[in-house]
């Protein structure tokens, strides 16, 4: 009678099933003849609520969550904490340092660095969130379908993703954005979605293939379930976690990419306010007036880091096996 | 005594609290003797063995109490580098899953030979010859031709033989086999068990056989220790335990397995489930599932009572169990 | 042997294969009316090569000509070692795999060619219980959703308002507390999960349950509970079981008849007493003799047949009798002539339990299970 367990499973601690949740919390006093044990075991605990339970106790999540909440807040209502106008500049004050009412000083054009740094969040957050949504939707849709149906569509998609992985990001951005110019965030978002979806598609494809092989999918098929039911009820909920994790981490890198492209002069362009643009214009004066560079660059670094930390925390919560 | 485990405790820190995996285990093995440790998942049988081998993951594992005497030395008091010298050379382990225990990118010859390079300082060339010799010994056909092959090129039974060869390489005094045949087919199982028993006799090794299979135990063991919830509940020479178990758990297990030689009516089923290690029932851990449980079983942990020469049972009502 | 006339359907394909074959064996037929007839079932998985144009270079012959009947209310056990094709047979019966050729007749109708609504209707009646209770339940669904899903797929079975009550009834039937309906699978132990899987299998009131190693992942003390439950349910609902396992003791306990598979073929089939007490195929004998018996007094005087070597690859099975490479009786004839599954000639006129279907040229009775 093979007991398909690793030596460690003997402990019943690591006896995690497909869901990965720990078994220990489980059976308690629930022998068949007895009423269920009292306390928390009585409650229905879905894997999502377990993950949320873990997340709430994770300091990494709390810190990154607070930073992100703050960023979202100031990108929606920048005037709440910055009363000035980011485009109101006074050349006479160019490159001046910190002074009352202007804690971060002034930039090369004499604009208030504090106000511009606050207003710059909007561009970054918009690009990050919209690009990630686009990438995640397109990538998981195509990748998921390829993984589920396989066959020629899958082969074709795999070749296409290979091609996309071969495109150098910055060079591609330079070309794309000089062909599709514009001062708004939308061409940048379009470019990131175009370039980013294959990464998610690969992950979605892999995780759908893994989920598809689970016996519960076979069980649903044996019951007579159709493709849409299997995809929506059985495969997607069990395949989505890696996509969420990678997308969250990617969000930070997309924000950095936007700044890079703006720095190079092809991403966002003035009068749009963006950290990338400010970093670019400040870099020429970094010796004389480093504050002009430090504030937007610091804001960018903290933002990117916050999303990457959030992704890590989410991964830990969704996949307890990694701990 | 080759190995003596005394009052061993092992616990694991988990997300939901401390899991008490082993709660005061005593057992001993002599040279040339086979001890079968029988238990279900969660009984602590493998964790005890991992503690003896010194391969427990610590943390999250912890040994708050206990002694493990091997050839007179307490292993738990040794430094890690001293233990490492013992591991592999003096005591070796065979795992259930041979495929994941072998390194897929090294040929079996390299893996077998490595033992001699590391522990005996042999040259690569000599170690290869030794590897072939070992493969012959565990009766892998065409050993000379196959020594350069990789683990995935061998069948399950052959891989388990390679594991055995590896464990035997340095002629250890003690072998711990953790479910060595569970993953194998019945006909292959018999081959591997026979081989193991034969080599044990030849080298006069002590063998600890960890298993949940009452049939395998009956075939090879000299004595047996039945574990439940991290404790030994019964220990006895193998013939006596099958003829007349002295613990209700052992008795229930023996009655609940279907027999090959008879059709039988409804099976006796032990009610309930094995306990949660985070929350082991007070008193005798088996009491919620035991048909004989009385008040004392719920309040007082039964010690191991001497039932007969070399025979103990951790049941307040061992006499009644024997007579029943 | 009352059902002589009925079995002729199975003879056509076999009779053309070899002249030594004389007629239908009535012994392989179950008692009573058969609800499922499997004929010459074949499943080959193609092996392909090439990146763009996939060329077939061979096939893994997972199942290669399997025939048997399953009677109403009967349990047919299928035993065999890994790779013998028993799980593939199970998957074909519940239409998770499409056979390469052969027929599966449910109440006389071949279901291998069905699709759409007709297939869905048949699926209601043939359900499966899976081996691994950890991967067979969707971790994101509550127990109520899992057991209730069959009703969502087949809404005609239970009206919407009735479903919750039905699910709770099912939980009760399989010995779980009906109040557990809102819990998730990871809150249960392996044995309890297997009960949930069984409840799901029962939801549509099927006539046939295909159970693929339903207890092998469970602890010894829990196995007996689940086996007893399966037996209780069989009586209560008059179910037919195809019970697939590698544990010969469990199969004997639960089965009325037993089929032994080796490398994609059935090598011997008969009632449990015929197979276990009067085996005539050398593979069955070796298999039975290798089973460890929980009786230490038997170990010194037990006769054990230790087979040499491993099971050959199903991509390249031996010619003739597939067991010949490991068989101690093998002769020239075994390499050339495929032994058919029929009552061996030596026993044909004998009124003995040894006269059951056995695919061996040199079949002889040998008692290997000590009594």
Give which of C87, C135, C95 is closest to C111, Cα–Cα: C95
CB contact under 8 A, B257 and C248: no
- Calculate ∠ Cα A229-A235-A236, nearest 5°: 95
B284 neighbors B315 (Cβ within 8 angstroms): yes
B212 touches chain C (CB under 8 A): yes
Chain C stretch 113-172, residues whose beta carbon is closer than 8 A to a beta carbon of chain B:
none
A33: nearest CA in chain B?
B272
β-pair type (B174-178, B91-94) = parallel
Token pair belonging to A202: 């690969």
Q: What does the pLDDT read at residue C28?
A: 45
DSSP3 helix / strand / coil % (chain B, rounded to 5): 40, 25, 40
CA distance C85 to B98: 23
Provide the pLDDT for residue B181. 82
pLDDT of residue A17: 34
| Residues of chain C found within 8 Å of residue A36, distances taken between Cβ atoms | 177, 179-180
Domain assignment present for C183:
yes
Distance CA A197, CA A185 (A): 18
Q: Which strand ranges, in their side-by-side order, compose the sheet holding C208-212? A: C126-129, C208-212, C240-245, C75-79, C257-262, C265-271, C357-358
How is A73-92 classified by DSSP, letter by letter?
A: HHHH-GGGT--S-TT---GG
Neighbours of chain C (3+ CB pairs under 8 A): A, B
Question: In this predicted structure, what is the pLDDT of residue C56?
Answer: 78
Give me the residue spans of the domains in chain A.
1-45, 59-322
| CB contact (8 A) between residue A31 and residue B19 | no
- Residue A294, number of CB atoms within 10 A of its CB: 17
In a domain, C7, yes or no: no
- Residue in B15, B183, B272 closest to A31 by CB: B272
- What is the reported pLDDT for C31? 53
Which residue do the tokens 């209707």 mark? C121
Query: Does the pLDDT at position A27 exceed 80?
Result: no
Best residue of B154, B160, B187 to probe chain C, by most C CBs closer than 10 Å: B187
Shortest CB distance from A31 goes to which of B44, B271, B278? B271
Report the DSSP pairing between strands B34-38 and B206-211.
Answer: parallel
What chain A residue is nearest to C153 in terms of C-alpha separation? A225
**Average pLDDT for runs of 10 along chain C of length 371:** 39 38 41 83 85 74 92 92 89 91 91 86 91 88 92 87 90 90 87 92 92 88 89 92 91 93 93 91 91 80 79 87 91 91 84 88 85 66
For residue B276, give the nearest of A5, A6, A28 by CB distance.
A28
Candidate from C154, C186, C200 with C-beta closest to A47: C186
Cβ neighbour number for residue A215 with a 10 Å cutoff: 21
Query: Residue A48: what pLDDT?
Result: 79
In Å, how far is B123's CA from the nearest CA of chain A?
34
d(CA A75, CA C320): 77
Please say if the pLDDT value at position A14 is more than 80: no
3-state DSSP assignment of residue A153: helix
Model confidence pLDDT, tens digit, residues A208-233: 998 888 889 988 888 888 888 888 88
CA–CA separation, B191 and C306 (whole Å): 6
Q: Of the candidates B186, B218, B252, which has its C-beta nearest C290's C-beta?
A: B186
Closest CA–CA distance from residue C139 to any residue of chain A (Å): 5
Residue C371 lies in a domain: no
Asked if the C-beta of A186 comes within 8 angstroms of chain C's C-beta atoms, the answer is no
Residue B116 has pLDDT above 70, yes or no: yes
Mean pLDDT of A191-207: 91
- Best probe of the C interface among A16, A212, A218, A223, by most C CBs < 10 A, is A223
Asked if pLDDT for residue B160 goes beyond 90, the answer is no
pLDDT for residue A94 is more than 50: yes
**What pLDDT is attached to residue C125?**
92
Question: Of the given ranges (B148-162, B213-227, C10-24, C295-309), which has the lowest mean pLDDT?
Answer: C10-24
Residues in A touching B184 (Cβ below 8 Å): 2
The residue among A124, A95, A122, A127 whose CA lies nearest residue A111 is: A95
**Which helix H or strand E contains A88, and what residues bound it?**
none
Distance of residue C175 Cα from the nearest chain B Cα, in angstroms:
11
C246 at interface of B, judged by CB pairs closer than 8 A: yes
Hey, which bits of B71-189 come out as E strands? Answer: 73-74, 91-94, 174-178
Out of A25, A29, A32, name the one closest to residue B16 (CB): A25
Tell me, what's the pLDDT at C18? 38
Does C76 reside within a domain?
Answer: yes
Distance between C308 CA and the closest CA of chain A, angstroms: 22
pLDDT tens, position by position, B33-82: 999 999 888 888 889 998 998 888 877 888 988 999 998 888 888 888 88
Cβ–Cβ under 8 Å, residues C197 and C115: no
Contact pairs from chain B to chain C, CB under 8 Å: 138
d(Cα B224, Cα B312) in Å, to the nearest integer?
A: 11
Cβ contacts of residue B115 below 8 Å, gap of 6+?
B88, B127, B166, B169, B170
C214, C215, C217, C218: CA torsion to nearest 10: 140
The partner residue sitting opposite B272, judged by closest CB among A22, A24, A33, is A33
Both structure tokens of B287: 């009491």
- Whether residue C322 is contained in a domain is answered as no
Chain C residues inside the 8 Å CB shell of B40: 219-221
Show the tokens assigned to C1: 């042997």
CA–CA distance, C263 with C284 (Å, rounded to integer): 13
* Backbone φ and ψ of C71, nearest 5°: -90, 160
Residue C225 burial (10 A CB sphere; 0-12, 13-18, 19+):
buried
Q: Which residues of A touch C248 (CB under 8 A)?
A: none
Q: Count structural domains, chain C.
A: 1
Tell me the residue range of the domain where C213 lies.
72-94+115-255
Give the three-class secondary structure for A56.
helix
Are the C-beta atoms of residues C217 and B182 closer than 8 Å to each other?
Answer: no
Under 8 Å between Cβ of C127 and C209: yes
For residue B229, give how far its alpha carbon lies from the nearest alpha carbon of chain C (Å): 13
Contacts of C146 in chain A (CB under 8 A): 216
Q: Tell me the C-alpha distance between B306 and B304, whole Å.
A: 7
The span from the CA of A282 to the CA of A276, in Å, is 10
Residue A11 predicted with pLDDT over 60: no
Q: Are strands C126-129 and C208-212 parallel, antiparallel or unpaired?
A: parallel
Per-residue pLDDT tens for A249-285? 888 888 888 888 888 888 887 778 888 888 888 887 8
Between chain A and chain B, how many beta carbons pairs sit less than 8 Å apart? 87
Query: Which residue in A273, A285, A283, A279 sits closest to A300, CA to CA?
Result: A279
CATH no. for residue C161? 3.40.50.300
Model confidence at A205, pLDDT cuts 50, 70, 90, reads very high
> For residues C359 and A52, what is the distance between their CA atoms, to the nearest angstrom?
59
Give the model's pLDDT for residue C199.
93
Note the CATH architecture for domain A59-322.
Answer: Orthogonal Bundle (1.10)
Q: What is the pLDDT of residue C93?
A: 93
Confidence check: pLDDT of A30 > 80: no
**What is A192-252 written as a DSSP string?**
HHHHHHHHHHHHHHHHHHHHHTSHHHHHHHHHT--HHHIIIIIIHHHHHHHHHHHHHHHHH
Whether residue C246 lies inside any domain: the answer is yes
Is the model's pLDDT at A40 over the cut of 70? no
Judge whether A221 is closer than 8 Å to chain C, CB to CB. Answer: yes
Indicate whether A245 pLDDT > 60.
Answer: yes
Q: How close C309 comes to chain B (CA, Å)?
A: 8
Mean pLDDT of B103-120: 85
Say whether C37 sits in a helix, a strand or coil.
strand
Candidate from C136, C142, C188 with C-beta closest to A27: C188
All chains having 3 or more CB pairs closer than 8 angstroms to chain A: B, C
Task: Check CB contact under 8 Å for A4 and C217.
Answer: yes
List alpha helices for chain C, DSSP H. Answer: 11-15, 86-93, 116-125, 143-153, 163-173, 190-202, 220-237, 248-254, 272-277, 282-290, 332-336
Mutate to test the interface with C, among B161, B260, B276, B290 (most CBs of C within 10 A): B260
Neighbours of B64 (CB within 10 A): 10
Mean pLDDT of chain A: 78
**Would you call A23 and C128 a contact, using CB atoms and an 8 Å cutoff?**
no
Residue B36 forms beta bridges with which residues?
B209, B224
Give the integer Cα–Cα distance in Å for A80 and A161: 43
Contacts of residue B19 in chain A, CB cutoff 8 Å?
11-13, 24
pLDDT category of residue A241 using cuts at 50, 70 and 90: confident
Residues of chain A positioned with their CB less than 8 A from the CB of B213: 1
Q: Chain C contact for B239, CB < 8 A?
A: yes
CA distance A255 to chain C (A): 33
Q: Average pLDDT, stretch B85-101?
A: 83
| CB contact (8 A) between residue B178 and residue A7 | yes
**Residue B121 has what pLDDT?**
83
Edge-to-edge strand list for the sheet holding C101-106: C55-71, C34-49, C101-106, C109-110
pLDDT, position C5: 39
Residue B30, both tokens: 């002599």
In a domain, C338, yes or no: no
Residue A192: asked if its preceding bond is cis (omega within 30°), the reply is no
Which tokens is C336 given? 């050339």
pLDDT in tens, C28-84: 444 567 899 999 999 998 887 766 566 778 888 899 999 999 999 999 999 988 888
- Residue B57, both tokens: 């993951």
Q: Which range (A66-75, A148-157, C295-304) has the least confidence?
A: C295-304
Q: In the structure encoding, which two tokens stand for residue A320, read together?
A: 């307890």
- Length in residues, chain C: 371
Strand partners, C109: C106
Closest CB from C250, C288, C307 relative to B258: C250
Rounded Cα distance between C327 and A291, Å, is: 86
Chain C residue with Cα closest to B268: C224
């Amino acid at each position: 009678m093979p007991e398909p367990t690793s030596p460690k499973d003997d402990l019943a601690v690591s006896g995690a099933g497909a869901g990965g949740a720990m078994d220990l919390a489980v059976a308690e006093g629930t022998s068949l003849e007895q009423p269920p044990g009292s306390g928390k075991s009585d409650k229905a605990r879905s894997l999502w609520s377990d993950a949320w339970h873990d997340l709430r106790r994770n300091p990494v999540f709390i810190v990154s969550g607070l930073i992100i909440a703050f960023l979202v807040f100031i990108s929606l209502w920048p005037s709440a904490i910055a009363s000035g106008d980011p485009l109101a500049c006074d050349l006479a004050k160019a490159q001046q340092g910190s002074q009352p009412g202007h804690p971060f000083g002034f930039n090369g054009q004499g604009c208030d660095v504090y106000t511009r740094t606050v207003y710059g969040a909007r561009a970054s957050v918009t690009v990050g969130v919209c690009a990630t949504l686009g990438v995640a939707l397109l990538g998981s849709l195509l990748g998921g379908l390829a993984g589920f149906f396989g066959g020629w569509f899958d082969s074709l998609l795999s070749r296409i993703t290979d091609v996309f992985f071969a495109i150098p990001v910055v060079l591609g951005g330079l070309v794309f954005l000089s062909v599709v110019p514009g001062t708004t965030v939308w061409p940048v978002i379009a470019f990131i979605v175009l370039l980013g979806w294959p990464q998610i598609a690969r992950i979605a494809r892999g995780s759908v293939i893994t989920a598809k092989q689970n016996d519960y999918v076979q069980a649903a098929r044996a019951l007579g379930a159709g493709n849409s039911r299997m995809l929506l009820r059985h495969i997607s909920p069990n395949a989505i976690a890696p996509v969420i994790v990678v997308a969250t981490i990617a969000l930070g890198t997309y924000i950095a990419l936007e700044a890079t492209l703006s720095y190079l002069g092809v991403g966002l362009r003035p009068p749009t306010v963006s950290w990338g643009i400010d970093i670019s214009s400040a870099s020429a004066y970094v010796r004389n007036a480093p504050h002009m560079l430090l504030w937007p660059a610091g804001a960018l670094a903290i933002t990117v880091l916050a999303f990457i930390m959030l992704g890590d925390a989410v991964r830990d919560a969704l996949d307890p096996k990694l701990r | 005594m080759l190995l003596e485990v005394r009052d061993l405790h092992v616990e694991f820190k988990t997300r939901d609290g401390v899991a008490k995996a082993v709660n005061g285990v005593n057992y001993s093995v002599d040279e040339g003797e086979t001890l079968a440790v029988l238990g279900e998942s969660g009984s602590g049988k493998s964790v005890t063995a991992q503690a003896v081998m010194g391969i427990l993951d610590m943390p999250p594992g912890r040994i708050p109490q206990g002694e493990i005497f091997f050839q007179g030395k307490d292993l738990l008091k040794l430094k890690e580098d001293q233990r490492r010298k013992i591991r592999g050379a003096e005591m070796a382990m065979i795992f259930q899953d041979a495929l994941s225990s072998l390194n897929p990118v090294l040929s079996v010859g390299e893996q077998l030979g490595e033992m001699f390079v590391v522990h005996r300082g042999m040259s690569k060339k000599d170690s290869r010859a030794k590897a072939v010799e070992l493969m012959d010994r565990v009766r892998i056909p065409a050993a000379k031709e196959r020594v350069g092959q990789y683990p995935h090129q061998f069948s399950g039974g052959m891989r388990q033989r390679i594991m055995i060869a590896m464990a035997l390489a340095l002629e250890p005094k003690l072998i711990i086999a953790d479910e060595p045949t569970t993953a194998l087919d019945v006909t292959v199982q018999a081959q591997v068990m026979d081989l193991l028993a034969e080599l044990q006799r030849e080298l006069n090794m002590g063998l600890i056989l960890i298993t949940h299979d009452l049939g395998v135990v009956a075939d090879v063991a000299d004595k047996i220790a039945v574990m439940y919830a991290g404790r030994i509940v019964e220990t006895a020479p193998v013939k006596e335990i099958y003829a007349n178990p002295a613990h209700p758990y052992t008795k229930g297990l023996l009655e609940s397995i279907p027999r090959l030689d008879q059709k039988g009516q409804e099976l006796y089923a032990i009610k309930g489930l094995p306990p949660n290690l985070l929350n082991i029932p007070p008193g005798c851990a088996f009491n919620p599932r035991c048909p004989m449980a009385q008040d004392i079983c719920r309040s007082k942990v039964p010690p191991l009572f001497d039932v007969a020469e070399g025979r103990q049972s951790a049941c307040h009502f061992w006499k009644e169990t024997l007579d029943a | 042997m009352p059902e002589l006339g009925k079995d002729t359907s199975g003879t056509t394909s076999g009779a053309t294969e070899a002249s030594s074959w004389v007629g239908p064996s009535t012994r392989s037929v179950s008692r009573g009316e058969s609800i499922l007839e499997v004929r010459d079932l074949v499943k080959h998985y193609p092996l392909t090569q090439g990146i763009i144009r996939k060329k077939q270079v061979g096939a893994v012959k997972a199942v290669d000509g399997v025939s048997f009947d399953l009677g109403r209310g009967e349990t047919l056990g299928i035993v065999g070692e890994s790779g013998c094709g028993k799980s593939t047979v199970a998957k074909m019966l519940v239409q998770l795999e499409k056979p390469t050729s052969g027929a599966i007749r449910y109440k006389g109708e071949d279901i291998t060619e069905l699709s759409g609504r007709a297939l869905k209707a048949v699926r209601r009646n043939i359900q499966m219980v899976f081996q691994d209770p950890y991967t067979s339940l969707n971790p994101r669904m509550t127990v109520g959703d899992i057991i209730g899903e069959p009703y969502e797929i087949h809404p005609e079975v239970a009206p919407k308002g009735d479903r919750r009550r039905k699910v709770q009834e099912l939980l009760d039937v399989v010995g779980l507390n009906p109040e557990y309906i809102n819990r998730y699978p990871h809150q249960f132990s392996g044995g309890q999960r297997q009960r949930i899987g069984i409840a799901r299998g029962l939801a549509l009131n099927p006539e046939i349950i295909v159970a693929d190693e339903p207890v092998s992942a469970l602890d010894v003390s829990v196995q007996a509970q689940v086996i007893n439950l399966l037996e209780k349910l069989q009586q209560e609902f008059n179910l037919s079981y195809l019970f697939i396992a590698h544990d010969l003791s469990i199969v004997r306990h639960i089965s009325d008849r037993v089929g032994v598979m080796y490398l994609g073929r059935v090598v011997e089939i008969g009632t449990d007493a015929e197979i276990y007490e009067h085996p005539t195929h050398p593979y069955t004998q070796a298999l039975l003799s290798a089973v460890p018996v929980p009786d230490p007094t038997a170990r010194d005087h037990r006769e054990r047949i230790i087979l040499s070597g491993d099971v050959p690859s199903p991509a390249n099975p031996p010619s003739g009798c597939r067991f010949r490479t490991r068989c101690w009786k093998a002769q020239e004839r075994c390499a050339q002539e495929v032994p058919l599954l029929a009552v061996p000639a030596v026993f044909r006129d004998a009124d003995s339990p040894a006269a059951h279907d056995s695919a061996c040229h040199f079949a002889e009775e040998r008692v290997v299970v000590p009594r």
